[in-house]
Structure 1
């Protein structure tokens, strides 16, 4: 990184605009920034840091106001820096947040911080970003350093490194943690400690689970718990666990011994149950045999009684069989008897219909006319009907002609007045169309300004809305500012509470450790088994849970602060946008402009609407004129056609009337004559059909009677009535057959029972004593139940013990790897934290890493310290813990100074002022080299050394200046910030900062 140009406006002590050409100063290689105390020498460095990172170094960053108090009220503070980073020429323009006078009214308003990042490409500046976060991220990635690292590497604050040289390991560790990324190692330490606690809890839970299973085994067996129960250790935070859980290993053997005794009891009860089962089976067999014999004797006696009852029903069965036989024969003749009755009824109905039909045609023919006469009369009438059908079409045509003439007459009466009306309308419409077209042309000219009026209204409405929203936003902005300030205070208070609680925890840690001491046990701090004066608790000591709650509250407060800041920034951005839209005019003036624009818009809109209405009316009038002309032509054509058609129809009407009068004869109409002839022909046809149907029915009746009489004689019946008397329904026949079948089945079953050899043999034997046999069976069953119950209880207990032993084995097997993992985690956590005996130097992992970085810094510093001290002094890194270091595991960060003149190592606090300066300057330069390499080797083309030269004698100052000259190798520029007069003579290239009542100024002399 090389600086080229810096322009400062209203920043720090500089009230105006000061431009610093670093290219001119860098050409000399070594330049001096000098001025009186308080003139603003360090503010130049602040401006450089602010341009790059948006903040200033050290404690000055906590000060909110960076704007110069000497600047005029309306001057905006800004810093513009041109620099080259990794070959890219950049220009950064930053402005801090400041209070400016309001544009309207009195008071001030807050202008937010702004940034503009540009890059010089192809002869012009090209914008890269205007976002604060985006610009800061890009600069940090290019430099490869944070703001803290940049201030430590490029600006070399000597006062801080003198303190770093003399500080203890705790303070030195804090500085190194800010510069080097060691968070990952601290997180490893925490992760290992958490892992140790987690594995300890896991092993303890698994050991407790195994102990719980052992308790259930003891309860199942009815025995007391094992004498040596496993002691479940509770691992304490950051402490090694008690002895691993060795007692858990004894539980499986104890459970196996207990289960073996219960297996012997199970075998004995199984033998007793087997003997009782054999006795029960013998008693059950005797009882079953007796019950079988008694049942057979009862069944034989019942069969004898049923055989006597069946003999009494023999005569009834014979009668039912005869009746079923007669019904079967009657079923074969009965359909023929029923058919004779149906034929007789049909013949009677046919004779009645024939008589009625002959009476209907009695007026047309003689009373006893034959069938042939009737048929000839029917044919004559149908022939005449066929002849008249042709005349029937002429009658229909005559009626149609009459209707058409009536319609033509009505149409002529309608069209003649319509023709007169249309002629009158055509005389008026052309003048109306011409007048309407003239009005439309005038309205179109007036409506041409509508678009401009609408645009003017929209612009005025947009400005008015922005002005009104701006007024409302001012109140919201004030409220958001108040909420943000309250959130900042709350976040700071929460953070201070966390720090206070942690300090109280650390201060009371001695009392906590003292409370854990036990007589005869070694102290975890000093290792002694005697505790003559343990620490006492001076007050209430917060626990870790309380600190964690406070930290969570602090995190929540910080989140609330960030959210409030984001909301405030959003409102400020909205306010700036609304100001750009509304301009300087107030809402009332904009409202007046809007009212005028709306009046102009209303007038233009009205004229546009009038033009649209007139255009539509003109279109309608033109269409009406065209329609009326077409209507006139259509009416003229229709009148001519109707008159010609009416003449043709009148001639046809006369001809058809004469032909129809001749055809109808004596009937009133052709239709009446046709209807009469059709009715007479239909009546004659019906009479012929009725006479034929009557003859057929009489023949069928005679044939049915002969068939019925022959069938009845063949089946043994004398008359048809006898046949109908023997008929039975299907339900009655089925009932008789069921009764006969039941009697036959019962007779067969009785024969089978009486012929069964087992029943005959049982009937010859004496009756058994069932009561005595049942009593013996109950006694044997009770004995078997008692033995089986005892055996089941023993079996269930053994099965339960086997199940619990398996679960105990699983619990112990699950516990073993957890115990092993805990042992490994405990050892690694102790090694990483420096609290394990294997860590001989008691150095934590993060301290060890920082110690390695410190060794690199010491090696780089000694190269320059040897030259500045004439080879006398050398810095030495040591892992020994200093007397003032209270933090356990914080060793590995000690510094000593080796004096080549005495051959001894000294504490840095014993160095004189000048010796401390050259040593701390060497340390600062060495740290700058290491941090630069750590950041990726970004080249530092310009660096600054701030103060401390006043403590050097002339010879030592020469050595220091030689070292600083050496820093210029490779084109590097070094700026020395000092007010020492001797340096002004040694360094000709100077940036002079002068202070005055109106603010400071800067000037370059080369």
Structure 2
């Protein structure tokens, strides 16, 4: 960025319009902005910054009102800056908000801030925007830096870097945060802190869930949780990392396992008790069962004897049923073959019927009783012909497409023919209309030519009328002023006479005044004598010196009023003469009539001018219609020719396609009908051939089935199928007979077994048992067993419930552990990023670490210049340790020390002298400017300003500093030094001199 020209008006200390040619100053490379303290040297830099960003640097931006207090009431503040940024020549005109006098009435009104941004292109200024936000955004994007960064890079500020050099880490961090984009790292710190809180809440919730399961375990078992309370959820205090959370949750699984072991022992004890009562119950039940078994065996033996006698009478029935089952079994081997013969006979009859039906369908196509091969050949012939005709379908589709295109062309032809007639009619009519409207336009233009003269006449009449009104008013004011002047002359003359009279009276009585002041032994102020033999005495009143001075002051005031009134009369008389020259002696009423006539003439001329505009628009419209009609006629004619040509081509193609299709379809109505007929005939012939083949196969299968059935019937002892049907018996009936026989066999076997059973024989010989006593003993044992089993079931239920809750507790703790681990990781990362974790050895936050890296770059860039300016004595050292005055935790890493090569020690910057502090601060400022420029994208700053501080340097150090500043001019950069040091005025010939006086400051370029 290079500055070319700056113009300020009513801005800061500059009351008028001041233009500064920076091109002339920049040609020298190094120039001086000099002037007395408070003259406005820094205001020049404020104007540059305000033009670019709409604000002034530093704390001055908080001061409201940039308008000059010395400027006239109606003069608006304005800054105009011409500069080149990235090869683009820009002109920025800005005005701050200010209070201007109202145009009507008294008081003020607010004039809002304004901006005009222009670019010099193709030899002229082109407006880019007048919006404040758009202008600021464009400048910031071109320069690649915001206002704070620009002021730090291009305007090394007065005193600020000495403060930055000596500042603590907190203040130094705030400065660096304004210059470098560290917000993203601060956001990372906040995100990690939020993540730590979120994972803490998640782990707390999961830990509470595990504690809830532990409560249910305690409720189930009647035991208390660890320490007799729910696991605590630790809450970290604000600004501190949380202590190790949820340690109690880890103890819950072991506690539950201990409870499970105890309940396992209880279950074992209850099971032993239940086993004892169960054994007693078993013994009682065995005794009862033995008695019941003896009684049952006695009954069984008696019943077996009775059943043996009954079964002996059913032997003949059993023999008949066995014979019937044997015949049915032999018939079962033949029945399937007989059924198969009948089924195949039915299928053979059905096949012969299908063959007859299909042959009747193709009777018209082939001779009667045609064999199978003839039918198959006829089918193949028709399918081959249909396949050949498939290729003609594309020709049929093309014929339909040709007919469709011809219909579309006919429709378009019907649509275009009226358009052709319409455009022909328009071409006949429009030329005459154009000629008529043009004649009317010429007449209107001739009548409107006098509008400018009429307008000038209106302005002249209005000016004369305004002058006449003012003339009449000024004459009244002049009469009043002349009257006041006469009164002031009289008053001044009277005051003059009074003052002269008092002065003369005091002169006349001065001897008496001096005599009154004489004292014996004191020298006389006139003759010096200490003797006063005859002092003068006066009887008249001598005015005092105060009275004479008061009279003189009254005279001077009266004289001032006289001069003021005289000036007022002269001013009014001069104004009246000018108004008489403008308005003449004509009365205001006559001039008003002249104005009305002039306005009426102007309105008539304006009306004719408006009519001429309308006629001109009408002529243009008609000419456009005429050109359009010609274009439409040409277009429609071309299209009609194209349509007729294309229709002829399509007609020829249609004739050819229709002839081909007629030959292909033969005697059928259409090609599709012929293809469909051939397909139907081929299908019918194929079906007839298939039916004939199926009938032959059915007859062969029927003969084979009959032979096989006859052979099997003979082998099973049957002569005819009827005998087989008579002997056959359904499976259900055979099953019934077999069940009856088996039941009789089983009953006989059971009876024989029972009668041979030694136990039944012995039981029949034994006495009957006593069952009531044994049943009472069993009931008592069952009651004891029920009570023991209930207690064992309750213990087992608690054990099972505890096992289930242990699984849920294990799952809850397993779900809690990853959350606790995530919280531990999040807590560690948040602590590392904030500098509050012990693993962060430097106790530096992430944003402070990034800023420390930037500061390290600044120090490296600064030391390149500090070494030259200090004669290789001093070098800045960046330290990561926390300074004694830094109160914010995690804000380390921004310390600065000064290494002294003469002593080999490092010093605190506050121990530097004024001149040493200046060169160190200047080197730091230049280094920071380099780093910020690189950070902002490397935007080249062609004009650089250094503000004050040179008065603290000795001559040798000043030479070194000037050499460094002179080196900044490399690459064509211009450096402006703001200072009032006299020695610099002699060293730097190119100067911008800012001068102040009571009416405001002025600026002058001296090269």
What TM-score does the superposition give when structure 2 sets the normalisation length?
Answer: 0.49
What TM-score does the superposition give when structure 1 sets the normalisation length?
Answer: 0.49
